[in-house]
Amino acid sequence: MAREIHNAIVLRRSDWRDYDRMLTLLTPEGRIEAVARGCRRPKSPLLSAAEPFTAGEYTLYKSIAHYQVEQYRSTDTFYPLREDYERLKHAAYYLKLAEMISLPDQPCQPLFDLLLRALAHITYGETAPEIVTMAFELHLLASLGLSPSMDRCVRCGVQVDSAAWFDAEGGGVVCEKCRKTLPDISNGARRIMMRVPMTRFDALSKLTGHPDAPEAARFTRRFTSLRPEMHVPSAPDIREIF
Ligand SMILES: [Zn+2]
């Protein structure tokens, strides 16, 4: 058996035998499935180690069959999420997206850092949840090389620098000449979607109450849900007004 220490975030848990749970952990080194033995016993020291959202340092033993959680030190449980159902729905969506995108043994430090930042902001921040979610989606798309094209028509390549039309399936904005029956996108929403991937989460609060932010969030969600590698059926609603 080999001992490994990983920074990790619990993405998912499922019951396993009588008192155990199987955990899906996101670590900077890749996704790991690990058994938390006895964690469903009332006084288990691993009780909170096996809760979704818990982030911390996990000491794992690796046997031929699987990883097993030996001990852990929590850095954050994002506890206030349990008391705000709206924010909890958004945060649960982040865990699902992270699980879809990560792979075993494939290092993913940027995804790990992004998830931690997004969880901190959705839990403790003042920014509207829809804006944090849009930022998480756009940063994730950028890291995968899947960003929507917001300044060039995806059909003819012409530069777009004003209000335009949006082809979520086709990959971004469309010029007037190519638009056909597509929904139009305001210049403000287009610029938000272009800039958010380069904006730090700390600076997002200025978008709360911005008149074009709901439109940008809706187009971002539609765009994200149409990427096969990022389609999560239970994604939270982007409300018309937030
Ligand atoms: Zn065009």
Read off the pLDDT band of 144 (50, 70, 90): very high
Q: What residues sit around ligand 1, an ion, with C-beta below 5 angstroms?
A: 153, 155-156, 175, 178
Q: Residue 59 belongs to a domain with what CATH number?
A: 2.40.50.140
Question: What's the mean pLDDT when you consider all of the chain?
Answer: 94
CA of 10 to the centre of ligand 1 (A): 44
pTM here? 0.92
- Are residues 148 and 223 part of one domain? yes
CA of 148 to the centre of ligand 1 (A): 15
Residue 172 belongs to what domain range? 126-230
Any domain includes 14: yes
- Are residues 226 and 137 part of one domain? yes
Per residue in 75-124, pLDDT (tens digit) is: 999 999 999 999 999 999 999 999 999 999 899 999 999 999 999 999 99
- Are residues 225 and 139 part of one domain? yes
CA separation for the pair 131, 221 (Å, rounded): 11
CA of 224 to the centre of ligand 1 (A): 22
CA of 131 to the centre of ligand 1 (A): 29
Any domain includes 103: no
Domain end, chosen from 22, 45, 79, is at 79
Any domain includes 57: yes
Number of structural domains (the chain) is 2
- The secondary structure of the chain, three-state, reads CEEEEEEEEEEEEEEECCCEEEEEEEECCEEEEEEECCCCCCCCCCCHHHCCCCEEEEEEEECCCCEEEEEEEEEECCHHHHHCHHHHHHHHHHHHHHHHHCCECCCCHHHHHHHHHHHHHHHHCCCCHHHHHHHHHHHHHHHCCCCCECCECCCCCCECCCCEEEECCCCEEECHHHCCCCCEECHHHHHHHHHHHHCCHHHHHHHCCCCCHHHHHHHHHHHHHCCHHHCCCCCCCCCCCC
Domain end, chosen from 59, 79, 99, is at 79
CA of 171 to the centre of ligand 1 (A): 12
Any domain includes 94: no
- Are residues 146 and 68 part of one domain? no
Which of 180, 189, 134 minimizes the C-alpha distance to 155? 180
- Are residues 212 and 148 part of one domain? yes
Per residue in 155-204, pLDDT (tens digit) is: 999 999 999 999 999 999 999 999 988 999 999 999 999 999 999 999 99
Q: In this predicted structure, what is the pLDDT of residue 240?
A: 59
CA separation for the pair 134, 196 (Å, rounded): 8
CA of 61 to the centre of ligand 1 (A): 56
